Structure 1
Amino acid sequence: MFEDVEDGFVQERREPRVGTVSGLALMTGATAMAAVGGGHHSVFATILLALLALGMAHAFTVEIQRQAHRRTGRWGRHDVVNTVLLAGWALGALAVAMLPYPPAPMRVLGLLLTFSYAAACAYFVAERRRAVAEPATPVEAPVSESSPV
């Protein structure tokens, strides 16, 4: 797996994947929900869970960038699935926020997750469209120092 840097973004050559974006989105939201509404946590445990959720949010953003900047010249089936799943998680988080029986902190976090998932979906679509619109550049194979010239 070789990578080239163009315009500040790493151009990925690997195959498209669906599970990583969706899985990181769900893990980030679930960890945040555990931090906010996990019952009788100590302050230390709540802070650790919140920091873990922030770290996973960063990994989620990086994976969105990696999937958006793949080297395919078109919008593919995997891109549609990633977009639909992110939009679905935004709707699911909105449903949690609109239910009358969760406590107020859980409802606020549901709204925050709704906006976060919707922003992630819009970011993925914008970055993927930008990557598809860029002209493909030829890639040279790397030359190892031990190979004869």
Structure 2
Amino acid sequence: MGGSSNVLSWFWPLARTPDRSTGLEYEVNGFEDLHVSWPPPDPDRIPLPPRDVSDGVAFTGAEGSSYDVQAFKQRKAEDLRRQAGLEIERRKRFHQRLAENSEDESQQSDGPNEKGSDYGEEGWRNSEGERLRDFGVDEDIEFYDEEDLPLGVLIQRRAQAALKELK
């Protein structure tokens, strides 16, 4: 079909197939072995040698099964004891906590060497007793915006401040 210079004979269904010697020849780089096939064989279809299975190897866990069950139950009990204190405790709302601690707050005085209060959102501690300031977070910054302004108003204020700087 493709070996002829007559293009019309390429599409003729009863035409003779050209000889293999008229086909294309490809250069070989010389790195591969000539006996290696391409594509490589499928590893799932390569037959594996038979395994040597002896009866002595099978079911070796039956001797120490009671020990294994006891060890498993002991490890499970230790895990449950360890995880008992790690459940998530949801905090009460800020205002409820503030009302509960109001009597403690009146007794406590903020001295000059104290850095922030121990109550409220700033006084938050995790289960290990670490505070936000231990991680470098400034606790004096308010957590909630007192001004809930739309974005357009904020942009307008910024533009007015920029105009004042230009004047």
> Scaled by the length of structure 1, what TM-score is found?
0.21
- Higher helix fraction (1 or 2): 1
Q: Which structure has the bigger radius of gyration? A: 2
> Scaled by the length of structure 2, what TM-score is found?
0.20
